[in-house]
Amino acid sequence: MNSVPRWLFWCAGWLVVSSFCVLASAQQSATGATAPPQIQDASFHRTWQIGAYGSGGFAPNFVIGNLDLILYQKEEEFYTVTFEAGRMVTAAHGPGILKGRIETLGEIIPFWITHSPAQENIVHSNNPFLNGGTAGFAPYSIHGLSFTPVLLRWNFMEHNSNRHIPWLQVGFGVLWTAQRFPQGEVFPGTHTSYFNFTPQLGVGEDLFVKKNQSLNVGVRIINFNNEGLGEINPGVPYTLNFGIGYSWWK
């Protein structure tokens, strides 16, 4: 594999940006501690959100190959550009630190790409002549479109400041790719699918740079599987995706 995978730079960049955002938010919260009550309560009156974000990620321990003959661990990267819209559907409720509001969102992902860089992998096989050998793989990219119609987000509202709002979410979407994904096709009986489902979990934070504008950071765990639409369903057990975006609220 590459000595320095590109996803490592994504992770480092995301951590640096989010760290600066959190520090800036904390400083703003400290200086705004004496703000009038109506400003402090602004977070409870935000209802609609529209925004966009970009993300990059990778699939840890992603194993692929002919499932009966050879297996190898593969480096796979994922990049997206996403547009989202959401609406708060409940008032704040819940005990203590769990107090929050439920938000429903939908997402359209017009730019989805997975990239496999050039790499050499160790092959694991039941065939003793192949087992332990190395194989070189040329780089390739697969483009796709994705739609996530179901996202439920819990926005934590317990803290007194409206400068930053952490959240947890769960969602379900679909993905279409220009080529069969994740394993493509080798010969009959090994075809995957052009369509996959994308159940997912996420955690993140909205950092309000203005009263009704926020910089958003988050991490998502996404599973890819075709639920039997292909001849085989190796799927991608999970990917880690780091995102940063911007939203307008009303």
Most confident of the ranges 2-6, 49-53, 97-101, 189-193: 49-53
Write down the pTM of the prediction: 0.79
Write down how long the chain is.
250
Tell me: pLDDT of 215 over 90.
yes
In percent, the amount of the chain with pLDDT more than 90 equals 52
Tell me: pLDDT of 82 over 90.
yes
Structure confidence by residue, pLDDT tens digits, 39-56: 445 666 789 999 999 999
Contacts of 82 (CB under 8 A, 6+ apart): 52, 53, 54, 55, 107, 108, 109, 243, 245
Asked whether 247 and 49 are in contact (CB, 8 A), the reply is yes
What was the pLDDT predicted at 3? Answer: 39
How far are the Cα atoms of 19, 32, 211, 216 from residue 163, in angstroms, in the given order? 15, 9, 8, 12
Amino acid (one-letter) located at 227: E
What was the pLDDT predicted at 149? Answer: 96
Structure confidence by residue, pLDDT tens digits, 146-205: 999 999 999 998 765 568 899 999 999 999 999 999 887 766 667 899 999 999 999 999
Q: Considering the domain 6-249, what is its CATH architecture?
A: Beta Barrel (2.40)
Average pLDDT, the chain: 82
What phi and psi values does residue 246 have, to the nearest 5 degrees? -145, 140
Pairing relationship of beta strands 77-88 and 134-137 according to DSSP bridges: unpaired
Give the number of C-alpha atoms closer than 13 A to the C-alpha of residue 94, restricted to the C-beta side. Answer: 16
Asked whether 241 and 233 are in contact (CB, 8 A), the reply is no
Tokens encoding 150: 């179901």
What was the pLDDT predicted at 33? Answer: 43
> What are the residue boundaries of the structural domains of the chain, listed by start?
6-249
Tell me: pLDDT of 37 over 50.
no
Calpha distance 165→208 (Å, rounded): 8
